[in-house]
Amino acid sequence: DNKIATKALTYNDISVEDVFAAYKAKEEPYEELFETMYYEFPATLTTNLKGSRRFLQVGIGISTQYDETVIENIEAHMPALTAEILATLSGYTEEEVAGREARFALAEDLRTTMNTTLTGLEGFGGIEKVHLTSYVMQ
């Protein structure tokens, strides 16, 4: 016989502190916070725009919540990343880089480009967001 003994809790068995703690835990679930690390490319990158005499110059920063290995990989593979970024940028037309929405789309495209390059070289990308820290079209 495996009988489970149960006991009904009475009002006196539960303290006000217990109720408050349970309510607070339900209201504010525990959320683990990760440190966001940033890295900014040391120089701006400039390229001609597709089908245009104009050029685009951008400053690029990245953020990641992985470890510092991502930043170390970016620094180690800077020439390859720079070449891929310039190739990506030169495929854009003036119309495709004008305006706020275009900048967000370009940043996402650069994130994909850099993560693909790093994955090919290191087996892992890790760049979670690209930040365009300067943006000049002339």
* pLDDT tier for residue 34 given thresholds of 50, 70 and 90: confident
Residue 65 CA to residue 49 CA, distance in Å, equals: 32
Quote the pTM value: 0.75
Reported as a single tens digit per residue, the pLDDT across 64-90 is 999 999 999 999 999 999 999 999 999
3-state secondary structure of 107: helix
Q: What proportion of the chain, given as a percentage, has pLDDT over 70?
A: 78
Longest dimension (CA), the chain: 88
Mean pLDDT for the stretch of residues 10-35: 65
* pLDDT tier for residue 6 given thresholds of 50, 70 and 90: low
Q: Are 116 and 125 in contact (CB under 8 A)?
A: yes
Name which residue leads in pLDDT, 51 or 18: 51
Bridge-partner residues for 39, per DSSP?
62
